[in-house]
Structure 1
């Protein structure tokens, strides 16, 4: 049966997909020899399925001879995506992250493959770091390509449904390949619902592997299906628990796990935090060409897992308490984890505009992130970006590559007041970006999607209407600390106090540093540290967040050396 299906996919010879951007490199003889020391060679007859959509693989596969077709919807509504020939390797980012495959790999021309257990791949790339960089770069690009072509699972639902928007946001923030089938706009929607016997009021639904249907799943259910929730990530006990998987939290996880601490890290939405919503970070040390926030997060998450950190998404912390020298954190599913040391890295969330008409449009045409998904949603329309900081500037530059015109709305009169000079220069040279200074939004017009914005010059009071179809908001952030209650000391704005600022704040009398004062990043609760944007007085930059995450682990060791003790008997 499998061979017949492959024949249907390609009755004639298939040309290899060209390698235009580093996604499909050929390995050298030396690299193949290095991999062969840890793997085995296997013959591949025509029609053999090497990777199957929806199933996890524990092997890194290299095509030695023959050709392999990469197919979506294998055996049903087949779509040929790519063709690999000799000395190319298969897979994409999900292979390194323990996710199921989002496509099927089928032998099109007989030959031979080299199969290396993923568990052995780390030992190989430690010997040849250039090989590791080659594989990771290719996998990151392939994930972006899968997202771009709408491969993977399907979300069927209305853009006006809050649950549908929830699933779309979760998939987008976690960089999962998917295709959205809009009930109102996609002609395939009705036929697809009839095929699976789904009533319109049962949507949104997730369709996976062609036939598996999840009716309005929770984000937790979707994450479990796609391998995002690591089994045992929130075990009953660990040395170091990191709440929040933005740059600061991931840095703490990397350094904690690499230095021998039993480490778990969790996030309520996705790895990367607010940084992952940034289309390109150009002032981060070591990346002269810039790097997207999503790619930086993916690299950091892979690095943390390599050292043994357990990552769980989505997992939401709901409470914290300290007792017997340890800290317990409770989660929204009713479970708890006790740790020797807790690092708070919950970051901050973007503030929302308080203007008439905006709430009903959130998720359909009002956004608080500027990733590829949002760009594709409005690629034929003029759009507006609100904000005067780097996040707004980066969004405007990125979106200008996808839409006809970007209006950048800044309420003060100096674009360079809160924005880096390199971004100001780029915006001023971009013919697709029109900057409107001392301008504020007064009304969002539209019932189900944005039709126009009413804006006002805050000096003259003159109003005008902009015919935009999407609005991107970057106007500052609020700390995510409500779940902490009154357990740690906060500043008047809700950010966590640390170090000398936390000294003298009430605590439970637990052990402190030898001088009795909180350590530099320690909160008012002994053994609880805060890093990144959630910390009062922090510098709101990715580099400083990463530095604080690394520094926190050094202080964690200092704390443990003073208090010692393992969890349990």
Structure 2
């Protein structure tokens, strides 16, 4: 296509898809005008550039703007074209990340520019405008992920470090594309172009010019603009370990109550809930909500109240010191906290069968997100598990795979799966439910090709030809670093309340004149919420409630008199 033809085609506005490109009303533009300035634009002007932080929220008053990926590079392509009334940017603008594409003026006109910090405040204060912008930005983020925009991860499918980087990018919902060193045709050209030796992979290629050789998760996070732990020692009122639903709820309620609140997570915000394709029984969302959208909303809410979120930040030790606690990170940095909320969640258990080890991350997965579903294309897949996570995954994958085999060890789908999911799974034309069934062997050379499944009632065997396996067979808690520090149950979950009191050192509590509060552990001022807590319900709603409740109990611990909100009178 010639430059003239390209310019002519570029000015045609991209149709709105799924609410990704809505138009602001004249009233909304007028309200925004009071917080920013009108600015003339010139043809060819770059309004923001890929790889650089957003500085302004831009609404188009006249003219057109083209959104491009890899501007000037070999993979340059148009993502969208916007005209008057539309606004620019994507999720990174609200979350402090760098831009994943470039905005170029194609027809001169005028824009309304609002500083980013002021725009973040407006999104939090105006529910109508905030919801419109947030939904559009979430849609744009998933559009970019589907296009394979953003950075590239080039490496072997057999490399654990490649798997680590891909998981980090997927769990943080970061636009990226994986270039398979063994199979992708462009891999060899990229190796030559950037003078990369195969043994130096995996590498991350950013903006088509910068190369990070086998970066750590923290190095990749800094490249994208995710907030990393501060190297200098600091202090906070509440340290929240884990950024799933329980941790984010604690962050929101802690910060909104005026406590200096820091929330950290070793991998990503969202925990296991963030990988859920659809949550349909969460109060207030009758049509359901994806785990990613629920978590992004919670992250923005936590930022709104001033909570600090740091990812990735691996906590390695918790040490009592002068009625407070020193939290030590894997990189050696430390933060002192008056109270701690443990909300580190769980990891899904691995399926231990012959042949599966070398296929993990290649075609055996422990999450079913857009990333994994995109790798399945139209192939048949299998899901192992009989709980809600397995049911949600089966329904989601049925939209991508040609067939979904749901392998359930028990004899009744109702035993561990919510009725609303059973009612969708059982009649689904693309889902086959195999009860009394267990996987005995995984086969395949470079990727999964088949599974040997045994009927544990009859002893009969059956071979399933599948291209991918998704495993949801229970979970184990993130508590290895807490052994010897506070009391855990036999499975490693944290004891709280009455259970903690039975295991606590009475001399420690006699000085306080009380026993552990409802969610308090065997250490005063250290609370546990969500899936990591012994006896928890393992539901998003209950985890959120416990995160909020933990902050109420933090106040009681700090003040020794109950809630900070006191009734009037003497």
Query: What secondary structure does 2:79 align onto?
Result: strand
- Decide whether the 8 Å contact of 1:233 with 1:312 is kept in 2: no
> Where in structure 2 are the equivalents of 1:226-305 lying within 5 Å?
226-230=224-228, 232=230, 236-305=234-303
Change in CA separation of 1:46 and 1:508 when aligned onto 2, cut-off 3 Å: farther
- CA drift of 1:451 comes to 1.1
Residue aligning to 2:7: 10
Distance 1:559 1:233 in 2: 29
Partner residue, 1:331: 329
* Residue 171 (structure 1) shift: 0.4
* Segment drifting more, 431-440 vs 354-363: 354-363
Give, in angstroms, the shift of residue 497 of structure 1: 0.6
Quote how far apart the aligned CAs of 1:14 are.
2.3
CA contact (8 A) 2:248 2:298 kept: yes
**1:320, distance to aligned residue in structure 2 (A):** 0.8
Residue in structure 2 matching 1:168, options 166, 169, 179: 166
Aligned partners of 1:206 and 1:125: how far apart in 2?
A: 33
1:24 counterpart (17, 21, 30): 21
- 2:292 is paired with a residue of what secondary structure? helix
SS at match of 1:10: helix
Superposed CA RMSD in Å reads 1.8
Equivalent-residue separation in structure 1 for 2:232 and 2:502 (angstroms): 32
In structure 2, relative to structure 1, the CA distance for the partners of 1:68 and 1:351 (3 Å cut) is same
Structure-2 change in CA distance of 1:32 and 1:455 (3 Å): same
Choose from 134, 137, 146 the match for 1:136. 134
What residue in structure 1 maps to residue 56 of structure 2? 59
Query: How far apart are the structure 1 equivalents of 2:154 and 2:6?
Result: 26
1:416 is paired with a residue whose SS is helix
* 1:236 CA displacement: 1.8
Is the counterpart of residue 221 in structure 1 residue 219 in structure 2? yes
Answer whether contact 1:511 1:563 (CA < 8 A) is retained.
no
Inter-partner Cα distance in structure 1 for 2:216 and 2:265: 15
Closer, same or farther: CA 225–512 of 1 in aligned 2, 3 Å: farther
Residue 196 of structure 1, CA deviation = 1.1
Q: Please state whether the residue corresponding to 2:353 is helix, strand or coil.
A: coil
Secondary structure (helix, strand or coil) at the match of 1:206 reads strand
Equivalent residue runs for 1:379-418 within 5 Å: 379-418=377-416
Equivalent of residue 543 in structure 1, options 541, 544, 547 = 541
**Normalized against structure 2, the TM-score is what?**
0.95
Inter-CA distance 224–511: structure 2 relative to 1 (3 Å threshold): farther
Bigger mean CA offset, 121-130 vs 383-392: 121-130
8 A contact 1:382–1:467 mirrored in 2: yes
Structure 1 distance, partners of 2:557, 2:70, is 53
Structure 2 residue aligned with 1:350: 348
Give TM-score scaled by structure 1 length: 0.96
Q: Which runs of 5+ in 2 are unaligned?
A: 563-570
Tell me, what secondary structure is at the counterpart of 2:503? coil
Q: Which runs of 5+ in 1 are unaligned?
A: 565-569
**Per-residue Cα deviation, 1:269-322 (whole angstroms, up to 9, x for no partner):** 110001111110000001111111111111111111111111111110111111
Separation of aligned partners in 2, 1:23 and 1:291: 16
1:6 Cα shift?
A: 8.3
Of residues 186-195 and 537-546 in structure 1, the stretch that sits farther from structure 2 once superposed is: 186-195
Q: Residue 96 of structure 1 aligns with which residue?
A: 94
Distance (whole Å) between structure 2 residues aligned to residue 126 and residue 318 of structure 1:
34
Deviation at 1:229, TM superposition (A): 2.4
1:518 counterpart (511, 516, 519): 516
CA distance in 2, matches of 1:491, 1:363: 31
- Give the one of 496, 499, 506 matched to 2:497: 499
Shift of the 539–191 alpha-carbon distance from structure 1 to 2, 3 Å rule, reads same
Inter-CA distance 140–285: structure 2 relative to 1 (3 Å threshold): same
Give yes or no for contact 2:11–2:107 (8 Å, CA) kept in 1: no
Whether the 8 Å contact between 1:9 and 1:80 is mirrored in structure 2 is: no
Number of equivalent positions: 560
Whether the aligned pair in 1 keeps the contact of 2:124 and 2:304 (CA below 8 Å) is: no
